[in-house]
């Protein structure tokens, strides 16, 4: 039962965080970073 | 689940996450809107095939920008993936995990392989250190320093190699930092011949994070205490040196299902209701 409560609470928390992030435009920031070659990642920058 | 089925699922998952196939020839990465969503496993967003964003890269990018932004969206996605699947993501969906498994499958130096060794247990804490210090702390304190991506991440290095093959300008730009990162990648790949999943065991911050959810995730290992004879077959076959009959919720278990395959039917991997062990 405890585990089930924890699962549901965490799923709600995750949904709240995702919605907050979406309202703040964070998916756009993720896209802006992901759509350009990350020089640090590939070992140049 | 037998290993062939799992390998097929890993292959499909890797291909889906890297479905921008033309990128491998042009050296141009995808700019599709799907890249606003993080994939569950470690797959660099600079991989020419990537159609999603890397969660660890996105996390560091939010923290190390001009102003620190709390990465609500990425953390929310990571918790969501973790609560549902736990480290099943490592066992089935992560492309870099798949690469290590492929190398471990090469039938050479079989006699020299080790499942565990003195210090193995302590070394496994290194990934938590890397998560806290290299992914969260340093990027938050030092502007524009995604430390893990820059100095450690082997998935990014593989992306660099693939881009350099397709684009001579990138090839010409590779220098000292690349040599460092290529050495890290090389060590991990060579270790993968002798030990299963060395990166996942000791280094991966994403595995460290998902491991925290293995106790409570909806997909888990379940032991039937009534039929389990504690014969030890599961522990002997486990590539991560876990004993699932004693500790099915271990943070080290990547939910590969090998033990379930070896077992007489007392182990089950899948959706587990409520508090059942
Ligand atoms: S305990 Fe079973 S599922 Fe977990 S890593 Fe070991 S063999 Fe794979």
Distance B54 CA to ligand 1 centre (A): 25
B276: confidence class by pLDDT, cuts 50, 70, 90: low
Q: For residue B59, what pLDDT is reported? A: 96
**How far off is chain B from A32, nearest CA to CA, in Å?**
8
When CB atoms are compared, the residue of B53, B174, B274 closest to A30 is B53
The ipTM estimated for the assembled molecules is 0.97
| CA distance readout (Å), B224 to A43, B136, B257, B264 | 48, 39, 15, 11
Q: For residue B275, what pLDDT is reported? A: 60
Interface of A with B in 7-36 (CB under 8 A): 7, 10-11, 13-22, 24, 26-31, 33-36
Q: For residue B33, what pLDDT is reported? A: 98
Q: What letter does residue A37 receive in the DSSP assignment?
A: -
B274: confidence class by pLDDT, cuts 50, 70, 90: low
Using the atom order of ligand 1, give the atom closest to the CA of residue B243: 1
Q: Which structural domains are found in chain B, ordered by start? A: 3-211 (no CATH), 220-270 (3.30.70)
B143: confidence class by pLDDT, cuts 50, 70, 90: confident
* Nearest residue of chain B to residue A4 (CA atoms): B274
B69: confidence class by pLDDT, cuts 50, 70, 90: confident
* Nearest residue of chain B to residue A15 (CA atoms): B76
pLDDT tops 60 at residue A3: yes
Whether chain A has a CB inside 8 Å of the CB on B29: the answer is yes
For residue B261 the two structure tokens come to 């395959």
Rounded Cα distance between A20 and B150, Å, is 29
The residue-averaged pLDDT of B159-177 equals 95
The residue-averaged pLDDT of B148-153 equals 98
The residue-averaged pLDDT of B11-20 equals 98
Straight-line distance from the first to the last Cα atom of chain B, in angstroms, rounded to the nearest whole number: 19
Q: For residue B67, what pLDDT is reported? A: 79
When CB atoms are compared, the residue of A21, A34, A45 closest to B45 is A34
- Output the 3-class SS for chain B: CCHHHHHHHHHHHHHHHCCCCCHHHHCCCCCCHHHHCECCCCCCCCCCCCCCECHHHHHHHHHCCCCCCCCHHHHHHHHHHHHHHCCHHHHHHCHHHHHHHHHHHCCCCHHHCCCCCCCHHHHCCHHHHHHHHHHHHHHHHCCCCCHHHHHHCHHHHHHHHHHHHHCHHHHHHCCHHHHHHHHHHHHHHHHHHHCCCHHHHHCCHHHHHHHCCCCCCCEEEEECCCCCCCCCHHHHHCCCCCCCCCCCCCCCCCCCCHHHHHCCCCEEEEECCCCCC
Cβ contact, residue pair B36, A14, below 8 Å: no
Cβ-based contacts of A3 with chain B (< 8 Å): 215-216, 274-275
Interface of B with A in 177-236 (CB under 8 A): 177-178, 180-182, 215-218
Q: Can you name the residues that pair with B222 across neighbouring β-strands?
A: B268
Q: Backbone dihedral region of B136: left (phi > 0), alpha (psi from -120 to 50 degrees) or beta?
A: alpha
Q: For residue B98, what pLDDT is reported? A: 98
């Amino acid at each position: 039962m405890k585990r089930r409560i924890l699962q549901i609470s965490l799923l709600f928390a995750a949904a709240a965080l995702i919605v907050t992030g979406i309202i703040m435009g964070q998916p756009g920031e993720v896209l802006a970073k992901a759509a350009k070659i990350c020089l640090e990642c590939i070992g140049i920058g | 689940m037998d290993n062939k089925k799992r390998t097929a699922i890993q292959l499909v998952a890797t291909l889906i996450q890297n479905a921008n196939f033309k990128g491998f020839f042009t050296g141009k990465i995808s700019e599709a809107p799907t890249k606003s969503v993080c994939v569950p496993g470690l797959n660099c967003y600079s991989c020419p095939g990537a159609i999603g964003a890397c969660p660890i890269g996105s996390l560091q990018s939010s923290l190390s920008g001009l102003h620190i932004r709390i990465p609500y969206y990425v953390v929310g996605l990571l918790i969501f993936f973790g609560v549902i699947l736990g480290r099943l993501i490592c066992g089935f969906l992560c492309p870099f995990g798949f690469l290590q498994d492929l190398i471990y499958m090469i039938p050479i130096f079989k006699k020299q392989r080790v499942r565990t060794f003195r210090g193995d247990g302590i070394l496994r804490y290194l990934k938590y250190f890397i998560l806290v210090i290299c992914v969260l702390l340093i990027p938050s304190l030092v502007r524009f320093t995604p430390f893990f991506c820059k100095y450690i991440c082997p998935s990014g290095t593989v992306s660099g190699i693939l881009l350099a093959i397709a684009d001579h300008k990138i090839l010409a730009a590779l220098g000292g930092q690349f040599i460092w990162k290529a050495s890290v990648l090389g060590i991990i790949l060579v270790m993968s011949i002798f030990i299963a999943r060395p990166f996942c065991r000791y280094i991966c911050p994403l595995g460290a994070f998902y491991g925290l959810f293995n106790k409570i995730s909806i997909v888990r290992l379940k032991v039937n205490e009534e039929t389990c004879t504690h014969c030890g077959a599961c522990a002997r076959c486990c590539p991560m040196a876990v004993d699932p009959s004693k500790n099915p919720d271990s943070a080290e278990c990547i939910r590969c299902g090998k033990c379930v395959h070896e077992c007489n039917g007392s182990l089950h991997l899948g959706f587990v209701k409520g508090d059942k062990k």
